[in-house]
Structure 1
Amino acid sequence: MKPLRPLAKDDYKPLYIQLSDRIVEYIKENHLNPGYLLPSQNELVDYYGISEMTIRHTMLRLTTEGIVERIRGIGTFVAQPKIREQIESIQSLEERLASLGKKVRNVFLKAEKAYPSDRERKDLELPQGTKTLRIRRLKLMDNSVFAIETRHVPLEIIARFSQEEIETKPFLELFSRHDDIRVSMISYIIRAALLTEFEADAMNVPSDRVALNQYGVFYNSIRKPVMIGRLIYLADKIELQYKVEDNSSHITPIE
């Protein structure tokens, strides 16, 4: 079996992202099946000589992304594959809820240049070492927080918008103003989520609060990704409903 590759202390990526990537590589290179028991937190601390906090941050990230499954008191396992659902409706959350008579307010938290994870970078089709602008905002309805939004946008795209627009406007609305970045397809993955410490603090809820993670890759008309991002919903605050129609039936009129 191939061992875990070492970390690079002088790498531009934070250690927890490097370790996340190493564990994903370890699973893929060794063709580990769902349910396989992975090295424990103590084993990883001894192997890499890094802090328990870094290991916990790594495992939280991998659990949220559906790569591993943690069972308290037993261990960390390769997770079962998650169901992926394709959604074709190109409509912002604000627009969908407005149609139901609900107004969503965005509360800006922070925007910073950041290195996306390997998975996020590949989804954006960016070369290694490329930074994006990571934007985080709270979603409020009736003055109550129901979600936290995180977006990664390439720097050359986000430069088209003002700070006020970045802080307050729906991104689909902003992108629709430019033909070359207007969103024409979104690929979503939806799974159960664990809140990070930042997310729990921002929403003022316990970190063990039940949540849903909606991760999306946003494409323009030529299927080039222009943004990736996730909405973390508090599961007791909102219900996601999807309607799927069968368009396979075809009737040819009789002449």
Structure 2
Amino acid sequence: MNVKDLVHLKMLSFNYILLNFFFSCKDSNEFQLFPNENTDPKCWIKPSFKRVVILIVDALRYDFATYNKSLPSSQALPYQNKMPVFNEMLEDNPRQSRLYPFIADAPTTTMQRLKGLTTGSLPTFIDASNNFASEEIIEDNLIDQIVKHGKHMIMLGDDTWGSLFPGRFLRQHLYPSFNVMDLHTVDNGVLDHLQNELSGSDWDVIVGHFLGVDHCGHRYGPNHAEMANKLMQLNEEIR
């Protein structure tokens, strides 16, 4: 048994313990992602929130998000200390906020990472050729589970989502994602619609996928004034 098998075994064991100690279902197969009128109330945890907003800042490195109070602004690199909003969240709401580093397996192109996030699978280099012509995901995934259980999703930003999950969203405002010279169209599109959608009452999940940081990294790299401008823009919008 190799390390990967051991990790998978531990994950399966942990999930089995959760199902048997925190749920009273005799058969763990009865567990459902979302409850409905046929769900045994003993087999479900009461939701903590009725609605969820997920904001994805593509290519946001861990060192873009950390904050060093001892670093003078005159000595900070263009990407350093430009998003203090995360540090503010950690200090003001420590029980509700977390900041973790994540090391993504290659390939790290958008389609492969979204597939990994929504299906739980590991992206492969065979998939990399599909990044420029993303095909619909047909295996079990989080988006289909949300829709299957009667929840409504709104998608804003990167148009890759529309290719991977056609017809799943209640509304979508998507923008071309492959022009790395364009730092603002996708981000501004998210911002143009986000507040209006938040004020509505017909949604359960909103996903906003910003691309400006990623495009700025491709065009200029992290040590450039444009990266500082983009990070500060998103800092204010998230705040």
TM-score normalized by the length of structure 2: 0.26
Considering Cα pairs closer than 8 Å and 6+ residues apart, tell me whether 1 or 2 has the greater RCO: 2
